[in-house]
Amino acid sequence: MSIHRSQRERSTGMLTRRRFLAGTAAAAASPWLVPASALGKDGATAAGDRITIGVLGVGNRGNSSIDALYPLPDAQVVAIADPRRERRLWTQDQVNATYAKRENKASYKACDAYHDFRELLARPDIDAVWGCVPDHWHGVLYNRVLEAGKDMYGEKPVTRWIGQGVTVCQAVRRYGRVFQTGTQQRSTWQFRHACELARAGYLGKVHSVYVGAPGGMTYDVEPPCDPPEGFDYDFWTGPAPMIPFDKKRCEWLAMYMISHYCAGFITNWGVHHLDIAGWGCPEIFHKPFEVEGKGVLPEGGMTDTWIAWQMTYRWASGLMMSFTNTDNPNKIGCRFEGDQGWVHADRAGIWAEPASLLTVQLKPDDVHLHRSPDWGDKYGYTSHSADFLRCVRTRQDPVSPVEEGHAASTLGNVADIALRLGRKLKWDPAASRFDGDDDANNLLDRPLRSPWTL
C-alpha cells in the first residue's frame, strides 16, 4: 500500500511503527482483527501494537472522548495537555487508574500530562491526536498537529472561521494525514439509513430539507477577577482577543455563546444536523447557493451569538433547505422530503412516510454509505472513534473526512454572516467565497492574537 508522508516523516524516519500499523493487512480487513503475534495476554492487543493517542483539552468534551476510547483494544491514551492544572492532573489520574484496572495492576503510570500542547506534539511515539479544545483554537491547533505528522480526530466545527477551515483542509492533504471530524452522528444507523434513502431515490426527487438544532442562550456579565491558581488564562485565550478573565466565559456553555470563541449553536451544534443534510444531499455541500434569514441576538450580557434563527438556503436545481433552532418551527434533527415520501432522523430515532421506508433493504447497485464499526453506543462516540482508528491503519478517509466536516461547518458560519449583515448572500463552495460581496468576504477570517499564527 502506498502511503503519502510528509517531508518531515521521510527525512527523519520517526514513524516506522506507524507505517507498520498502516500496512497491517488484517487491520485493513477489520479494525479488530490483528495477527496472533500482536496479541497480548488473553487476546488483548499488545501494548507495542496499539495506536498511541494524545488528547488536547480535557474539559467536558475531552473527557467524553477519552471515555469513548477506553473500550477500544487497539488504542491507548498516553498523553494529555490542558492549560488548567487541576483538570489535567485529575484526568491523568483517571486515565492511569482505568488502565491499571484493565492491566490488572495496582498502579499504572503511562499517561503524561502537559501544560503546553507543543510538548505533546514533539513526541515521536504519539500516532494520533484528539483535538477537544474550544472552537477558537481549532485552526491553529489542528494545523500544528498535521504539521507534526500526526493523524487527527478534530472536534466540530472544523474551525471557528471559514478561511481557517480551508487552510486545515489543504494541510490534511499536503501532509498525507487521516482526519476524522467529530460529527459522530454518521456512525449511527438511523442517520446513515436516512441519507441512503435520500441518495438512492427511495424518496423520489428530494426537493426540501428541514434541519433543527438547539438555540442559543444568554449569560449575564460577570465581574472581572483573577484566574484560579494553576489556570493559564493567557494560554487558554491563545489566538482570540484578550478579554479580562471572569468566572463564566471559559466554562461550558458560556464560551460557546461568545463570538470571540465560537459562532454559537448556529454552527457549533447546528453542524451536526447540517452535516447529515449534506451527507444525504451532496448538492448542499458542493453547489453554489443563496442564503437569507432572520435571527435574535441577546439584548445584553456577555454573550453575542444567535439565540434563535430562521434560515433558508436555495440551490439552482430548486432544492430548498430550511434551518432553524429547535421548534422554530423545525423539529430537532434532519428531515428529507421527496415527491414520493419523507424521512426524519435525530438522536432519538428515525421516522418515515410511508413507514415501509424504515425496512428498506438496499440493493447492490444502490448508494451504500461508509459504515463505521458498530460498537452499539447510543450516540456513536465509540463507533466513530473506532472508524478513525481503522483508517489510521488503512490510510483511507474516515466516515467524516475533513472536507465534508468543513462544508458542514461552513453552512452554519455563512448563516451567521448573513444574519450579521442582514441581507441575502450568495455562496460559492468551489471558491470558498461569497459572490460580489466584499463585506461578507471580510468576515471569512480574522487576525490572530500574537504570537499565534496559522
164: domain CATH number is 3.40.50.720
E strands, 316-393, are 320-325, 333-338, 341-346, 349-353
**410, 319: one domain:** yes
Calculate the average pLDDT of the chain. 91
Asked whether residue 373 is domain-assigned, the answer is no
189 or 34: which leads in pLDDT: 189
CA–CA gap between residue 26 and residue 31 (Å, rounded) = 8
Model pLDDT, residue 108: 87
Residue 137 lies in a domain: yes
For 161-194, the pLDDT digits (tens) are 999 999 999 999 999 999 999 999 999 999 999 9
Based on DSSP, count helices (H) and strands (E) in the chain, helices before strands.
Answer: 16, 15
pLDDT range class, residue 430, cuts 50, 70, 90 = very high
Shared domain for 154 and 256, answered yes or no, is no
The answer to whether residue 344 sits within a structural domain is yes
DSSP annotation of 153: E
The confidence score (pLDDT) of residue 48 equals: 67
42 occurs within a structural domain:
yes
Does 43 or 298 have the greater pLDDT score?
298
Residue 28 has pLDDT above 90, yes or no: no
Other beta carbons less than 10 A from residue 151's beta carbon: 27
- Distance from C-alpha of 112 to C-alpha of 236, rounded to nearest angstrom: 20
- 402-424 pLDDT per residue, tens: 999 999 999 999 999 999 999 99
**What's the structural domain count of the chain?**
2
In degrees to the nearest 10, what's the CA dihedral of 350, 193, 64, 138? -120
| pTM for the structure as a whole | 0.91
Whole-angstrom Cα distance, residue 348 to residue 228?
A: 39
Cis check: omega of the bond before 157, within 30 degrees of 0: yes
Please give the grid coordinates belonging to residue 336: 428529507
Q: How far is CA 199 from CA 44, 277, 281, 333, 380, in A?
A: 39, 11, 7, 18, 22
Q: Are residue 134 and residue 206 in the same domain, yes or no?
A: no
Q: Is residue 31 part of a domain?
A: yes
For residue 46, what pLDDT is reported?
A: 66
| Residues 147 and 230 grouped into a single domain | no
- For the record, the C-alpha cell of 324 comes out as 432553524
Phi and psi (nearest 5°) for 300? Answer: -170, -175
Q: Determine the pLDDT at residue 15.
A: 36
Does residue 388 lie within any of the structural domains?
no
Rounded CA-CA distance 400/392 in Å is 13
Taking 80 as the threshold, does the pLDDT of residue 36 lie above it? Answer: no
Domain interval for residue 205: 189-368+402-441
pLDDT bucket at 22, cuts 50 / 70 / 90? very low
Q: Are 244 and 362 members of one domain?
A: yes
The H or E element that residue 290 is part of is: strand 289-296
Do 174 and 220 fall into the same domain?
no
Q: Which of 302, 57, 334 is nearest to 197 (CA)?
A: 334
Read off the CATH number of the domain in which 307 is found: 3.30.360.10
One-letter identity of residue 410: T
Give the end of a domain, one of 171, 186, 201. 186
- Least confident residue range of 37-41, 62-66, 110-114: 37-41
User: What pLDDT was estimated at residue 13?
Assistant: 31
| Amino acid identity at 239 | P
* 250 and 118, same domain (yes or no): no
Q: How confident is the model at residue 148 (pLDDT cuts 50, 70, 90)?
A: very high
Q: Do 198 and 148 share a domain, yes or no?
A: no
Please report whether residue 201 resides in a domain: yes
What span, in angstroms and rounded, lies between the C-alpha atoms of 164 and 148?
18
137 and 234 in a single domain? The answer is no
CB 432 within 8 A of CB 162: yes
Backbone dihedral region of 422: left (phi > 0), alpha (psi from -120 to 50 degrees) or beta? left
Average pLDDT of span 261-283: 98
Is residue 34 predicted with pLDDT exceeding 50? no
Look at residue 349 and tell me if it is in a domain: yes
Lowest average pLDDT, out of 164-168, 375-379, 386-390, goes to 375-379
Of 133, 151, 186, the last residue of a domain is: 186
Same domain, 153 and 19: yes
- The domain boundary, picked from 151, 171, 186, lies at 186
Q: Report residue 125's pLDDT band, with 50, 70 and 90 as the boundaries.
A: very high
Question: What would the pLDDT profile of 308-325 be if each residue is shown by its tens digit?
Answer: 999 999 999 999 999 999
145, 181: one domain: yes
Contacts with 375 (C-beta within 8 Å, 6 or more apart), sequence order: 71, 382, 383, 386
In whole angstroms, give the CA distance from residue 74 to residue 47: 8
For residues 152 and 286, state if they share a domain.
Answer: no
